[in-house]
Amino acid sequence: MDAIVGRAADQVNLLEEALAGLQSIKARASSESDQVTAEVDGNGNLTGLWMDDSISTLDARTLAALITSTTHEAARLATEQRTQVMKTLQDAFGTV
């Protein structure tokens, strides 16, 4: 019985670590020109968007594409981090 309780406690700890890891994900990406920087959390939510003053020279379509592609890259990076957290959890569950 002690072994079962110990294993359950270990699994709870692994889940708590994974949750903390997921909650701490912040991914940033910048456009090639460094005119736009986007930050995304582990759920893919945009948490920050910074634009250089030089964007005032861009037309609206170019700026929209730049913001979209930069945000997409930040979301991709966040997804990579999220995948790594989940893989670590899955691997750890296999050893507990």
pLDDT, one tens digit per residue, over 8-57 is 888 889 999 999 999 999 999 999 999 999 999 999 899 999 999 999 99
| CA 13 – CA 16 distance, rounded (Å) | 5
pLDDT greater than 80 at residue 94:
no
Furthest CA-CA distance within the chain: 70
Query: Taking the mean position of all CA atoms in its chain, how far away is CA 35?
Result: 21
pLDDT greater than 90 at residue 96:
no
pLDDT digits (tens, 9 = 90+) for 44-70: 899 999 999 999 999 999 999 999 999
Model confidence band, residue 1 (pLDDT cutoffs 50, 70, 90): confident
Q: Report the pLDDT value the prediction gives residue 85, as an integer from 0 to 100.
A: 94
Q: Where are the beta strands (DSSP E) in the chain?
A: 26-30, 36-41, 46-51
Query: Around Cβ 5, how many Cβ atoms within 10 Å?
Result: 9
Q: Domains plus CATH for the chain?
A: 2-95 (3.30.1310.10)
